[in-house]
């Protein structure tokens, strides 16, 4: 098969640092955060993560999030096709967001054989690892089939876990039905969430954040040996550094510590910690 110039497009929930986005020429459509009668693009310019999470503790009612209009997706595709022969779009799950549909509509004016739209089933850096490995594979092979195969193998060998300091924000989000089912009892516990195939589930409930931290350490070790690791937090830098130290025996060299995107953090709330792992078995 002839080598193709393949570009990757994603949405701002992917959490990929700006330098890596630029390095791999990855297009990003920003989601929006809505509060106080205004709508802010989650692009690192209109909202800075550090200030947003400090403000989030006091903003009431709790902010809402929304997808971008299809025109933004169409513009990104236009730009990508200035050089690309094929575009692969990887995005946050359709079960959790209107992003997939915005991309679908935005891509409708382009030849269907030149655009591949994929529901990643993941959020935050778990989506980000699919995007980055897809971009690396595209650059190395120029083969759409190999890119899609790499995405499939990464998805089968990755996990995302998050320990929440409070369930309040997830309950207000309305994205997860079980979060409001027994909110009175759950407000006093520290839930550990597991994201799989676009579903946000409770992996465990613990009484203290210390136990939640210990559970994340154990879960990361269960996925070792690791090819990729993202340590995620919402305005909890010290917790993230402590988690990296606790995982020093298994952390890959390319480990990222990320104050996660406001689009996801709005539903997690301040003080959260998480891990996004890809085991080395994806390469098998």
Q: What is the mean pLDDT of each run of 10 residues along the chain (284 residues)?
A: 88 96 98 95 90 92 95 98 97 95 97 97 97 98 97 98 86 58 58 89 86 96 98 97 98 96 93 97 94
Burial of 211 (0-12, 13-18, 19+ CB in 10 A): middle
Check residue 176 and give its pLDDT: 54
Check residue 85 and give its pLDDT: 97
Tell me the percentage of the chain whose pLDDT exceeds 90: 80
**DSSP of 5-72:** -EEEEEEGGG---HHHHHHTT-EEE--EEEETTEEEESSSSSS-HHHHHHHHTT-SSPPEEEPPPHHH
Check residue 174 and give its pLDDT: 58
Q: What is the length of the chain? A: 284
- H runs (alpha helix) in 35-163: 49-56, 70-80, 99-106, 124-141, 144-156
**Residue of 46, 52, 43 lying closest to 21 (CA atoms):** 43
Domains 6-31+67-156 and 158-283 share a fold: no
Model confidence, pTM: 0.94
> For residue 258, what are the β-bridge partners?
232
CATH 3.40.1050.10 fits 6-31+67-156, yes or no: no
The CATH number given to 158-283 is 3.30.1180.10
How far, in Å, CA of 219 to CA of 273, rounded?
13
Check residue 255 and give its pLDDT: 97
Check residue 169 and give its pLDDT: 83
Check residue 184 and give its pLDDT: 44
**DSSP of 225-272:** SEEEEEEEESS-HHHHHHHHHHTTTT--TT-EEEE--HHHHHHH-TT-
Check residue 130 and give its pLDDT: 98
Q: Which two tokens mark 254? A: 């390319």
Q: In what order do the strands lie in the sheet with 27-29?
A: 27-29, 6-11, 86-91, 115-119
Backbone angles phi, psi at 70, to 5 degrees: -55, -25
Where do the domains of the chain lie? 6-31+67-156, 158-283
């Amino acid at each position: 098969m002839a080598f193709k110039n393949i570009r990757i497009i994603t949405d701002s929930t992917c959490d990929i640092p700006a330098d890596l986005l630029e390095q791999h020429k990855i297009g990003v459509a920003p989601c929006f955060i809505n509060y106080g009668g205004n709508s802010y693009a989650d692009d690192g310019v209109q909202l800075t993560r550090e200030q947003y999470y400090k403000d989030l503790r006091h903003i009431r009612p709790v902010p809402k999030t929304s997808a971008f209009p299809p025109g933004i997706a169409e513009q990104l595709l236009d730009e990508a096709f200035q050089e690309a022969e094929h575009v692969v779009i990887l995005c946050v799950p359709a079960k959790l967001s209107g992003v997939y549909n915005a991309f679908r509509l935005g891509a409708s004016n382009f030849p269907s054989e030149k655009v591949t739209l994929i529901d990643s089933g993941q959020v935050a850096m778990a989506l980000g690892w699919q995007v980055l490995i897809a971009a690396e594979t595209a650059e190395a092979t120029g083969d759409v089939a190999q890119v899609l195969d790499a995405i499939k193998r990464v998805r089968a060998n990755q996990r995302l876990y998050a320990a929440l300091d409070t369930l309040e924000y997830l309950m207000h989000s309305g994205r997860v039905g079980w979060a409001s089912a027994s909110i009175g009892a759950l407000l006093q516990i520290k839930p550990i969430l597991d994201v799989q195939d676009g579903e946000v589930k409770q992996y465990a409930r613990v009484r203290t954040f210390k136990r939640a931290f210990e559970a994340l350490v154990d879960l990361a070790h269960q996925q070792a040996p690791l090819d990729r690791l993202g340590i995620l937090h919402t305005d909890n830098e010290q917790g993230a550094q402590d988690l990296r130290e606790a995982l020093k025996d298994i952390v890959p060299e390319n480990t990222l510590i990320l104050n996660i995107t406001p689009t996801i953090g709005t539903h997690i709330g301040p003080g959260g910690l998480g891990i996004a792992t890809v085991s080395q078995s994806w390469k098998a």
